[in-house]
Amino acid sequence: MTEEDIKKIIESPTFRQEFDKYYRRKYPSFEITGGGPSAKHGRTEYALTTVPGEQMIHFYESGVAKISSNKSFELYSGDLPVVHDGKAAGDGDVAIKLNCKHGRIKIQADMSDIELNGRNITLRAVEKYDKKEKKMIGGNINIVADKKITTKSGADTEMLSSADFTIDTTKELFINGGEQVGIHCESEVIHTTSGLDEFMAPDFYRDVTTSINKVDSYNEA
């Protein structure tokens, strides 16, 4: 490009609009830029990028912020003894907090595992009132695995439900108790049925079995 070509670009309205707030300073191992365009997120506000590793701390005018490292990223907090640990689940001071007012929080490990370790771990889904929908939404915890789900406790295990509780499996369901197994129904008799009952005594089966509709719905699905 000639000097005249460069002058035309600098004096053009587009250039002035794009680079009016542009700043760049380069050092041997990193550079700092701001006010210039980016490939995906609009104009940068502050962009610290290492050279040649391209690790970064970037802030954009669009409200996007990115921190990137090539190997690992670690946050440390709570070293001072004045930070209280508490005695039970939910007690103690907050040392690290992630807060999201709108949108989702997504944690993803593409090729390895996600591990949570702590004295106690609490997962709580809180039902919220949606002003647009004008109704309560949320309050659900969904656990989905393509293969196996394993739960193990060193002492008692309790599963409590304020409404219905359903266990359904497409193959074998096995319940084993080392000492005792108890099944109790507070306000009704206990109904036990078999898939053969419908063929051996269809009328009796339909009249007596109150849960047949639920059985049919699960088996059809």
Q: Across the chain, what does the average pLDDT equal?
A: 87
Is residue 218 domain-resident? yes
Q: Give per-residue pLDDT as tens, 109-147.
A: 999 999 999 988 999 998 888 888 888 888 899 999 999
Please tell me the total count of domains within the chain: 1
Q: Would you say residue 28 has pLDDT above 80?
A: yes
Which of 44, 40, 43 is CA-nearest to residue 32? 44
Angle at 194 between CA 190 and CA 200, to 5 degrees: 115
**Distance, C-alpha 89 to centroid of its chain:** 21
Is residue 221 domain-resident? yes
Is residue 195 domain-resident? yes
| Higher-scoring residue by pLDDT: 145, 88 | 145
b/e 87-111 (16+ beta carbons within 10 angstroms → b): eeeeeeeeeeeeeeeeeeeeeeeee
Q: Would you say residue 212 has pLDDT above 70?
A: no
Q: Would you say residue 152 has pLDDT above 70?
A: yes
| Higher-scoring residue by pLDDT: 189, 63 | 63
pLDDT > 70: what percent of the chain?
90
* Least confident interval from 42-51, 78-87, 101-110, 187-196: 187-196
Query: Which range marks the domain in which residue 203 is found?
Result: 191-221
Is residue 137 domain-resident? no
Is residue 159 domain-resident? no
Contact 56, 65 (CB under 8 A): no
Model-level pTM? Answer: 0.72
